Structures are given as C-alpha cells and as structure tokens.
Amino acid sequence: MMRTRQRTTTLENLRIPVQAKLAAAWTSLMFFYIYIDYFHLYQPGAIDQIRGGGIFEFGITPTLMTVFVVVIGIPALMVMLSMTLPARANRATNLVVASLYIPVTVFNAVGTSWDWAFYYGFHITIEVLLLAFILRSAWTWPRTASPATMPANPDREAARIQQQA
C-alpha cells in the first residue's frame, strides 16, 4: 500500500528560544549600525571631514576611537552573551544593556541638520524598535514551574488533559 502525502495549509511554527531571539536582534542591530556608518560616508563633506581629522563635531583621537570600539563592541558581545549566559544573568544583562543603548542611539541625531532629519529619524526609529524588541523579549522571558508545582508523572498528566479535551 502506497501512502500519499497529505497537503497541509498550516505552516509549522517552531518555538524559538529567547536566547536565539535576543542574539538575532543584537545581530540585526550590529548589521544596521555597520550600514548606517557606511551610508554616512555618502553624505556631502563626510569624507573630507574625516580626512580633516574630525567626525561630526569631534576630533579623531585615540580616545574617540576607543569610545567607538566600546559602543560597537558591547552589542557585538551581546550576540554571544545572549546565547551563553544563564537565563537569569542573560535576562538582566539584556535589560540593562538595551536600556542604556536607547539614549546612545538617540545621541546619533545630535548636531544633524534638518535636511537630514528624516534619514536620522528613520534609522534611529529602526534601532529603537530593535532595542524595544530586545527589552520585550528579555522582560517576558518564559518561566518554568517549580518542581513542587510540576505533576509527578508528566506523561500521565498530558494524557489526562487530552482526555478531558
């Protein structure tokens, strides 16, 4: 007897672990940072300003470059930490770092002209939405029931629930 495969219309929707969601969001934020910095080079005068030793209103110094490494390095580390830290530390770290990065993100608009307001407003909005997703994912991290509230035999409990349905 040959079986034919039945077509289904429902797509499988696997539950993605919170750690993977967080790592993906931090990765998206990192890619977005990279592209926004790259696109900045297309703004008139940006390359000349860099060649002249300045970025925005700041002189290019070892201190400024170190600040840039820290600002970009923390989200890069968050990709790895989101996948490796224990749940409690992971949740707390993501809540703290994402909260601190919202003002860092908004700071990107300082000193911009109104001509570029939509550009900066749009990319800052996307970055804040990614950070909000991180905050929401960490805040709503699923909890497991304590052993005292777990059924003694999970298979028997599942069968009992299915019979009642």
Tens-digit pLDDT profile for residues 18-48: 999 999 999 999 999 899 888 888 888 888 8
Give the integer Cα–Cα distance in Å for 32 and 136: 20
Give the integer Cα–Cα distance in Å for 75 and 26: 6
Q: Can you give the pLDDT at residue 69?
A: 93
Give the integer Cα–Cα distance in Å for 94 and 88: 10
Question: pLDDT tens, 54-102?
Answer: 877 778 889 989 998 999 999 999 999 999 999 999 999 999 999 999 9
Helix or strand holding residue 94 (H, E) = helix 87-107
Give the integer Cα–Cα distance in Å for 78 and 84: 10
- Residue 4 burial (CB count, 10 A): 5
pLDDT above 70 (res 164): no
Give the integer Cα–Cα distance in Å for 40 and 66: 20
Give the integer Cα–Cα distance in Å for 69 and 115: 29
pLDDT above 60 (res 149): no
Q: Can you give the pLDDT at residue 116?
A: 81
The two counts, helices (H) then strands (E), for the chain are 6, 2
pTM score > 0.85 for this model? no
Q: Can you give the pLDDT at residue 11?
A: 86
Question: pLDDT tens, 116-138?
Answer: 888 889 999 999 999 999 999 99
**pLDDT confidence band for 140 (50 / 70 / 90):** very high
Give the mean model confidence (pLDDT) for residues 153-165. 63
> What amino acid occupies position 50?
I
Taking a C-beta distance cutoff of 8 angstroms, is the pair 29, 127 a contact? yes
pLDDT above 70 (res 157): no
